[in-house]
Structures are given as structure tokens and as C-alpha cells.
Structure 1
């Protein structure tokens, strides 16, 4: 993936676009996460990003970037099919890494605490 493509994916979008992405992310995040958990090296950060993105206290731009990245993560079709094991999630990892860099420091400790609680309660498959 090139930087331009990732930059396009991470555009925060208008409020209506963010709302649409939030609904999609809420509906598809957990099933996709369960499939990807072993192949994503930063599962804790990913879950914390989810909680940050759905937190109404998170700044609009940050929410928009995270929702865009998470929406890409949960898309059933992307550049490299996720069914290809480790390689399949490499494009998702690139997009998420760019999102984390773009919002550096915006994921709060409360989001990580919620992520830790969720991950502790999530059985490994």
C-alpha cells in the first residue's frame, strides 16, 4: 500500500460518514477481531482504539480517523484478502499503524483499561 492510499482511507469524513462508519464498526468489529487476534501484533491497541473511536468525548477528528481505520479493518473485501492468514491482515496493520501515528496520544488510559478488561474476558480461539 502506498502512503496516498492510506491517507485517503484515513480521511475523517463528514459527520454523516462518521456515523455510518461507526454503525459498521460496532456491528463488525468483534467478529473480525476474533478472526484476526492471533495475527495482529497489537491487539490491545486495536481494542483500545475501538473504545476511543466510540467514546463521545474523543475529539471529532480523532474519532473520524479511528473510525475510518476500523471501518477498513472490518470491511469484508480489502486489498489483501484476510483469509490469507498472516499476509491477509498486513494491509489492515498498515492502515491501523498509520492511524495510530496520526492520532498519537489520543487513546486515553481509560480506553486501555476497558481494552484490558475486555481482553481478559475474551476466550482465545
Structure 2
């Protein structure tokens, strides 16, 4: 990840790229979150971001940024491989933190309510 800046990772991409990222996120989000749950200090925000990214009412640019960050989160191999205990998700956390800062205010209360329901139900395999 030395040559790749977080801003480059968070580029929203064109519509085709957003569609590919959305499918990747839908397929892998919940299994990866189950593995990372104890290492990600803001799991509720992460799940709310997932619901915000899949919400068609969310502005396209915001969806693109969130989908890019969530796609990076679900990739098995990235800047620091997620398999490394304790530090594997640190680069993912940095990317997600940058994404949250870029889209501040777009994750709505209904996204948090959906996140609360999903977390209360014990992290589904897929939604």
C-alpha cells in the first residue's frame, strides 16, 4: 500500500465499477465482519455504512466512496494481510476512517437502526 494513497482507494469510480464493488461487498461483508468484529473498534458504524452504501437514496458519490472503502475491507489481501493477528485490519480501519470523514452526515438514523438489528441478531451470513 506504500504507493497507493487512501484517497485513491476511495475514488467513487464509474457506475460499472460501483456495481462490481457493490456485488463484492454484498458477497463478502458479513463473513469478513465476523472475523474482524473484535479488531474493528467501530463495528456499529461499519454496519451502518454497509446499509448506507446499499441504500439507493444515498447520493451516488457517497455510495461510491463507501463501496470503495467496504470493498477494500472485504478484500482478503491488501496493504496488510487481514490474517496477521492484531494488525491485519489496521489498514482497513485507516481506509474506513477516511471514508467516514469524507461522507460525514450521510449515514442516517435508519442505517444505524438497521445496523443495530443486524448486530442484535448475531451478524448474519448475508442480508
Task: Report the 3-state secondary structure (helix = DSSP H, G, I; strand = E; otherwise coil) of the residue aligned with 1:85.
Answer: coil
Q: What is the rounded CA distance, in whole Å, between the counterparts of 1:85 and 1:8 in structure 2? A: 26
**Shift in Å, 1:77:** 0.8
Within a 5 Å distance, the mapping from 1:1-125 to structure 2 comes to: 5-122=5-122
C-alpha contact 1:48 1:112 (8 A) present in aligned 2? yes
Q: TM-score, with normalisation over the residues of structure 2?
A: 0.93
Q: Give distance in 2, aligned partners of 1:24 and 1:30.
A: 11
Contact 1:39 1:85 in 2 (8 A): no
Number of residue-to-residue matches in the alignment: 123
Q: TM-score, normalised by structure 1?
A: 0.94
Q: If each structure's helix is expressed as a fraction of its own residues, which one has the higher value?
A: 1
Q: How far has the Cα of 1:114 moved from its partner?
A: 0.3
5+ residue gaps, structure 1: none
Q: Cα distance, 1:27 vs. partner?
A: 0.2
Runs of at least 4 residues off by over 2 Å: none
* SS of structure 1 residue aligned to 2:35: helix
